[in-house]
Amino acid sequence: MGFLICTELWFFEHASEYGKQDIHLLVCPRVTPQSSVDKWIAAGQAAAVVSGAFCLSSNLSGPNIESIEFGGAGWIIEPEEGNVLGVTSPNKPFLTVEIDLEHAEKAKLTYPRYVSDE
């Protein structure tokens, strides 16, 4: 398992390095606003593909003292194509998806994960 906190998700070299360590799960808790949820999901998709691991994220939900509406929208993303397997919402605050860790193992053998960056 690899662990990236919030903005670290945007530094794909971290996800790639975790992938080289043969992780199967990349866990990414965040505190991001509602206005950028789609952008963060895109980052999670890229991190899943780069690492060859399932990307799981949680996010703070609701307003804070600075009047920022946090986005919620936790997710589970699969590693081969970056398909979103599920996203939480105010109506569905919890998400459970059965995953096969063998899928992450196989993803590490396909493009772009087998390409050396050296």
Mind listing the pLDDT tens digit for each residue in 39-61? 999 999 999 999 999 999 998 88
What per-residue confidence (pLDDT) applies to 65? 66
Task: Compute the half-sphere exposure of residue 6: CA atoms within 13 Å on the CB side of its CA.
Answer: 10
**pLDDT for 20 beyond 70:** yes
Confidence check: pLDDT of 117 > 80: no
Q: Which residues fall within 8 angstroms of residue 67, CB to CB, at 6 or more apart?
A: none
CA dihedral sign of residues 4, 14, 40, 98: negative
Look at residues 23, 93, 25, 84 and name the one whose alpha carbon lies nearest to residue 58.
93
- In the block, tokens 């691991």 appear at 53
**Domains of the chain, residue spans:** 2-107
Gyration radius of the chain's alpha carbons: 14
**Average confidence (pLDDT) over 84-90:** 93
Residues 2-107: name the CATH superfamily: Carbon-nitrogen hydrolase (3.60.110.10)
Rounded CA-CA distance 56/30 in Å is 11
* Contact between 85 and 99 (Cβ < 8 Å): yes
Task: Quote the pLDDT of residue 78.
Answer: 98
C-alpha span between 94 and 105 (Å, rounded): 26
Residues of the chain with pLDDT > 70, as a percent, come to 97
Tokens found for residue 17: 């390095």
pLDDT in tens, 100-112: 999 999 999 999 8
